[in-house]
Amino acid sequence: MDHRISNHQFEEDELLEVNHKRKVGKTQKYSLGTIFVNNDYLLTAFSKFDDKNRAFLTMPDYLAFLINFWDKVNRIYAQKSVSVPIFGSGITRIKEHKNISDEDLLKIMLWTFRISEMRFKFPAKLTIVIHKDKIDKINLLDIKSARNGL
């Protein structure tokens, strides 16, 4: 996999600098939202890393990730189905928003997807997979009413 990724022709704006000081993990940096397609799976650049090798994002980073990710998904998968988790609901740290709920993350994801899909004639079909342990913490009726309000 590492060989395929390193030989992939990424777009010019997707490749950032190489972090030679990083002792553990990959050193090539990618723009947030960059996608690498591996068979039926999308690998994406989702976070930044601090000097202790911990993944983190700020809320502006999270929004930029989502907008870039949806744009790339719509270019690659126009009119096809794509399934993703609730981004940020796991171990990723969103600075200044440590207690953000999965429901709020889901609302942000849907809002940015709708903004993105307006620019495409044939947008991808999106399915967001919600873990069974988290479904009871999300008010799906509120999510649906928010959709109707946009």
Q: Give the pLDDT confidence score for residue 148 in this predicted structure.
A: 58
- Which residues lie below 8 Å from residue 5, measured CB to CB, with a gap of 6+? 36, 43
Q: Are strands 28-30 and 15-18 parallel, antiparallel or unpaired?
A: antiparallel
Separation CA 100–CA 122 (nearest Å)? 32
Q: Give the pLDDT confidence score for residue 53 in this predicted structure.
A: 86
Assign 122 a pLDDT band (cuts: 50, 70, 90). Answer: confident
Per-residue pLDDT at 145 exceeds 80: no
Per-residue pLDDT at 75 exceeds 80: yes
pLDDT digits (tens, 9 = 90+) for 8-56: 999 999 999 999 988 888 999 999 999 999 988 999 999 998 888 888 8
This prediction's pTM: 0.86
Quote the number of domains for the chain. 1
**Residues, the chain, total?**
150
Closest residue by Cα to residue 71 from 31, 116, 26: 116
Query: Which residue segment(s) compose the domain that 119 sits in?
Result: 2-149
Per-residue pLDDT at 150 exceeds 60: no
Separation CA 75–CA 63 (nearest Å)? 18
- Which residues lie below 8 Å from residue 70, measured CB to CB, with a gap of 6+? 112, 113, 115, 116, 117
Closest residue by Cα to residue 93 from 137, 48, 57: 57
Q: Give the pLDDT confidence score for residue 17 in this predicted structure.
A: 94
Kindly report the CATH number assigned to the domain that includes residue 73.
Answer: 3.40.220
Q: In degrees, to the nearest 5, what angle opens at C-alpha 15 toward C-alphas 96 and 36?
A: 85
